[in-house]
Structure 1
Amino acid sequence: MSRQPRRTWSLFSTTALALIGSISVILVFALTAVTWFVMVPMAKRSADDLAALIVLSAQTWTELPKEAQPLLAAELKNQHGLIIQEIPALNRLHSTNLPYVRFLHNAVVHRFNQCPPGTIDPQTGECIYMGSLPQGAGYWIEIPIADDVLKFEFSPSRVGYKIPFTLGVILVGGILLTLLLGLGLARRLTRPVSRLAEQVSLGLPDAPLPLTGPKETRVLIEAVNRRSAEVKRLVENRTVLLAGISHDLRTPLTRLSLSLALAQDALEAELHDQMQADVEQMNQLIGEVLSIARGVNQAPLESVDAHTWLAHCVASAARRGITVQLIEPNTQARFALAPPTAQRILDNLIDNAQRYGRPPITLRRLETADAHIVCIEDHGTGLTMDEIITLREPFARKDAARSGVTGYGLGLSLATALAEAQGWQLELYAPGAHPYLSPGKQPSGLTACLILPKSPGHPQANPLAKI
């Protein structure tokens, strides 16, 4: 059973989560402390004040004559927002569990001296009950006093201290502030490193990166700038050296080629042809080295008809004595590519298939949702994945992977560099590993695919720096 790769979080994500988590813990602790030591005591104090008013009003009601009780009811309603009335019997049912209502009930019970005979519920042991009015109109409390049962009603605005509402406001505000603060701090701390990672992922930057962020980040950016400058100087020196050596070699090769032409009659034909082939091979090697020395730049893209361009590549191979079979889907397509660069890559792949594989050689066009794919397939012995990795290295000799062949080890590296400079991909697949064909249609040899994104990607900076 294959092990799933461990998920990697970005620096911004880990920093933001750490900050938000830390601030959230502090916020929860602060809310708990404020609730327990500030809000709950204030709510109990407010409930106790209202309980004192209710108990005093109930006692006053029973002492007043019947004709004076309406005056007391009017005053309580106008001055304190309380509605008092007599009811036949106790409801004996609690219908709310709000913290403030419980505080108020306990305060009334505490201030109430004793329940009248026959008013205590045997199941609950209480004679004072509270509940909510219909449709959230407010709350009620029933108190048995003397021979009467009084019911007080008051609106939600009369509740002196709303613990759930206050907690909700503080919690929502704290969460929003925590998110904003955590994301802001994380972005400020990680932005320089993120920019550095983005630049380095595209290749070493050509110009020095600005020194921003905290001290440690500035030290890191300065080290990358210093290393980039060293690599740039190394590449420039190597380029000058390769160009100089290759140019100096061209002069004696030219004299040698001229001498062979002049001495053609004095030499045996087979020896002359062998020496001329050696000179041409050396010229080819020097040409490849000069291409590396000059560097690879991104060429401008053109829109070309896929069938026309691929047919041109097949005709070019035919002029070199190579037979290539073109296989395309029935749909028409257009490529956004640099024709000279793409032609050079395909010529290199076709020549390799002819030199190291066996016919038939197939040029196949495929298409996915986000890319056009051009594959060169041969029917040789193919390569293993380890051999493919080896051959991708610069100056890797192909005869180290396939016996009986010779080469300089620069063609595939140069083709890869050309593709990367355009934002393309050049992939090699072992026999049976073609990802775009079913098992029954797999070629027996090597498959080389040039992947052209339909949306042009980012070209790799300095693609020849690794050659």
Structure 2
Amino acid sequence: MKNLLPRSIAAQAMVLLVVGLAFTHLVSNLFYATDRESALLTSGGEHAILWVATVGALAETLSPQEWSAIAAADGPDRRFVTITPDPVVATAPQADWHEASLQRELSRHVPPDRLEAYRIAYASAGKTTTAATYWRNYFAQNAMHAPDELILVSLRLDNGNWLNVATPVQPSPSFFSYRLGLSMAVMLIAVVLISFFIVGRMVAPLRQLSRAAEKLGTDVQAPAIPETGPEEVQRTARAFNVMQRRIRRFVEDRTQMLGAIAHDLGTPITRLRLRAEFIEDAELRAKMLRDLDDMQQMVASTLSFIREEATSEPQATVDIGSLLRRVCDDMNDAGELVELRELPRWVLLDCRPTALRRALGNLIGNALKYGGAAEVSLSVEPEKLLILIDDNGPGIPEDRQEDVFQPFYRLEDSRNRETGGTGLGLAVARTIIRAHGGDIKLSNRSAGGLRARISLPRSKQSNEHEDPHPAVDETRGATAQNGKKTRKVSAQARSGANWRKIPGHYSPSFGEMGRLKITDGTNIHVLQGGTAEWKTR
């Protein structure tokens, strides 16, 4: 039963409400349909019994001619009368609850001393009693349609004959009827519409609370949620806002305290550096200055780490492929060897772009530092994005792959300034990625080297927007202007029949090879010198 219910509260409430009301409606109709005693009496039985009781009371005063007139007076008033020497209704005790009900009604209109002269029975279409057979034959002989349900009475007359009366009654309504189906349909439609509106209003604050909780996981500075809705929801929202303020205050206090400590350490380190200059032993002085440099670098890295946690950079929706490409291009332009595999087009992500670039830069830089080269790829799954950064370095023992994310933690092989750093790069990267709702996992590759696996929750907007920069079919009119490190360019690109301007920049190395690579912030277009008219000026 648990697995059959929908997962959302709104759907569960609507299903339970509809099922409960439908069940109640069916039970009510069942009770109504089975109340055959009232239905029988109100559909002709009471009139038939009253008529028979009246005739029985006049039995002693009626002449044989009047009895004959009564017997001939069937049909028009829907009562069929015969006079026979023997009773049509048998004398055996009746167990049918219909007949018991009729017997009780008869006792209300007939004196107790006259009840023995009456015999009453109920005949339905399925009964095969003697009385039912008699009356079916009667209707057949008189070319009349036999009613489905009859009240049958045999009354003993003073002359020894029996007065037999058959009164058709309206059949009791079937439980499964057109009316029941129609009433069920009307009731269900009304309940669904009303519950959809009411339940929707009730769960709207819960949806808002859920979104706020998700937002808090990535942005402690997120605005408070409105304290609206039912009283229970208001209390929950109020408690959530109080919790958020406490978390924000805790983070701010901790950040300020650590920032103050790191900042204040700068002054004594500077004094120690000045005093170290007066040490006469050159070797000891060099070692001390090197230690002070390490301390200075650690303080600077700590301040940067704290600054990263306290950052208030606004979130923006960016194409993660373009951001990843720019990070790799910057490193390639600096002479590093970073291979970027083919990227999917137009994959949006809600993020803090500067912080995310720093995290990716730290991870790629770590791969370059220990592997000499890095290979980067991006894949898209329904609920998340996966970024893989592979290197060909020595890898990290499996039992220490989590330890390297601790601040200032360094493997023994890297404890020197030239290669080891301060041990904050991976800690900063994981802090940033987790602030975006994702995570980083390290693993050793079977072919050798280390793999950093970055997962980020996919933006809901990624399926709602079309690529504003479709694939380029042709380029023309590109010009470039030299700068110190890059060259400004201006070109036009055609997608289908439409031309658009794509300003950007290109790397000099591409120009030297006879082609121009233009980036417009989203795509990189390579203009071959043979087909695209471009020049450097």
TM-score, normalised on structure 2? 0.52
Q: 1:310 and 1:206 mapped to 2: Cα distance?
A: 28
Q: Is the contact between residue 377 and residue 443 of structure 1 (CA under 8 Å) also seen in structure 2?
A: no
Residue in structure 2 matched with residue 227 of structure 1 by the alignment: 243
Q: Offset of 1:348 from its aligned partner?
A: 1.0
**Which of these residues, 290, 298, 314, is aligned with residue 274 of structure 1?**
290
Q: Is the contact between residue 375 and residue 391 of structure 2 (CA under 8 Å) also seen in structure 1?
A: no
Residue in structure 2 matched with residue 241 of structure 1 by the alignment: 257
Aligned to 1:377, what secondary structure does the other structure show?
A: strand
Q: Offset of 1:332 from its aligned partner?
A: 7.0
Q: 2:225 and 2:323 mapped to 1: Cα distance?
A: 41
Residue in structure 2 matched with residue 44 of structure 1 by the alignment: 40
Q: 1:8 and 1:382 mapped to 2: Cα distance?
A: 45
**Which of these residues, 30, 45, 48, is aligned with residue 28 of structure 2?**
30
User: 159-168 vs 26-35, which deviates more?
Assistant: 159-168
Pair 128,350 (structure 1): closer, same or farther in 2 beyond 3 Å: same
Residue in structure 2 matched with residue 98 of structure 1 by the alignment: none
Q: 2:225 and 2:344 mapped to 1: Cα distance?
A: 45
Q: Is the contact between residue 349 and residue 448 of structure 1 (CA under 8 Å) also seen in structure 2?
A: no
Aligned to 2:371, what secondary structure does the other structure show?
A: coil
Q: 1:307 and 1:294 mapped to 2: Cα distance?
A: 24
Residue 376, structure 1, aligned to residue 389, structure 2: yes
Aligned residues: 373
**Which of these residues, 302, 314, 335, is aligned with residue 331 of structure 2?**
314
Matching residue's letter, 2:301: L
Q: Deviations over 1:36-69 (max 9, x none)?
A: 23xx4465356647997xxxxxx99x959xxxx9
Pair 26,305 (structure 1): closer, same or farther in 2 beyond 3 Å: closer
Residue in structure 2 matched with residue 364 of structure 1 by the alignment: 376
Q: Is the contact between residue 143 and residue 150 of structure 1 (CA under 8 Å) also seen in structure 2?
A: no
Pair 258,412 (structure 1): closer, same or farther in 2 beyond 3 Å: same
1:449-464 equivalent positions in 2, closer than 5 A: 449=454, 451=456, 453=458
Q: 1:455 and 1:19 mapped to 2: Cα distance?
A: 32
| Higher CA-based Rg | 2
**Which of these residues, 299, 314, 317, is aligned with residue 298 of structure 1?**
314
Aligned to 1:171, what secondary structure does the other structure show?
A: helix
Matching residue's letter, 2:329: H
Q: Is the contact between residue 381 and residue 444 of structure 1 (CA under 8 Å) also seen in structure 2?
A: yes
What residue ranges of structure 2 are gaps of 5+ in the alignment? Answer: 49-67, 79-97, 103-118, 121-126, 148-168, 463-537
Residue 250, structure 1, aligned to residue 287, structure 2: no
Structure in which a larger fraction of residues adopt helix: 1
Pair 360,7 (structure 1): closer, same or farther in 2 beyond 3 Å: farther
Aligned to 1:150, what secondary structure does the other structure show?
A: coil
Q: 1:325 and 1:218 mapped to 2: Cα distance?
A: 52
Pair 286,7 (structure 1): closer, same or farther in 2 beyond 3 Å: farther
Percent of residue pairs bearing the same amino acid type: 16
Residue in structure 2 matched with residue 287 of structure 1 by the alignment: 303
Q: Is the contact between residue 328 and residue 340 of structure 2 (CA under 8 Å) also seen in structure 1?
A: no
Q: 2:5 and 2:368 mapped to 1: Cα distance?
A: 43
Q: Is the contact between residue 33 and residue 173 of structure 2 (CA under 8 Å) also seen in structure 1?
A: no
Q: 1:16 and 1:240 mapped to 2: Cα distance?
A: 50
Q: Is the contact between residue 136 and residue 146 of structure 2 (CA under 8 Å) also seen in structure 1?
A: no
Q: Deviations over 1:397-425 (max 9, x none)?
A: 344xx77657766433432343355x573
Q: Is the contact between residue 257 and residue 279 of structure 1 (CA under 8 Å) also seen in structure 2?
A: no
Matching residue's letter, 1:35: A
Residue in structure 1 matched with residue 407 of structure 2 by the alignment: 395
Q: Which has the higher contact order (CA 8 A, sep 6+)?
A: 1
Q: Deviations over 1:120-170 (max 9, x none)?
A: xxx9668979xxxxxxxxxxxx9432882424399xxx9776444333233
Aligned to 1:211, what secondary structure does the other structure show?
A: coil
**Which of these residues, 428, 443, 446, is aligned with residue 451 of structure 2?**
446
Matching residue's letter, 1:172: A
Runs of 4+ in 1 over 6 A off after TM superposition: 5-8, 49-52, 125-129, 158-161, 262-266
Residue in structure 2 matched with residue 198 of structure 1 by the alignment: 211
Residue in structure 1 matched with residue 141 of structure 2 by the alignment: 148
Aligned to 1:212, what secondary structure does the other structure show?
A: coil
Q: Is the contact between residue 309 and residue 431 of structure 2 (CA under 8 Å) also seen in structure 1?
A: no
Aligned to 1:144, what secondary structure does the other structure show?
A: helix
Structure in which a larger fraction of residues adopt strand: 2
Pair 235,254 (structure 1): closer, same or farther in 2 beyond 3 Å: same
Q: 2:264 and 2:286 mapped to 1: Cα distance?
A: 28
Q: Is the contact between residue 429 and residue 447 of structure 1 (CA under 8 Å) also seen in structure 2?
A: yes
What residue ranges of structure 1 are gaps of 5+ in the alignment? Answer: 53-58, 81-102, 108-112, 115-122, 130-141, 433-440, 458-467
* Coordinate RMSD, CA, aligned: 5.5
Pair 43,159 (structure 1): closer, same or farther in 2 beyond 3 Å: same
Matching residue's letter, 2:388: C
Q: Offset of 1:302 from its aligned partner?
A: 5.2
Q: Offset of 1:229 from its aligned partner?
A: 2.1
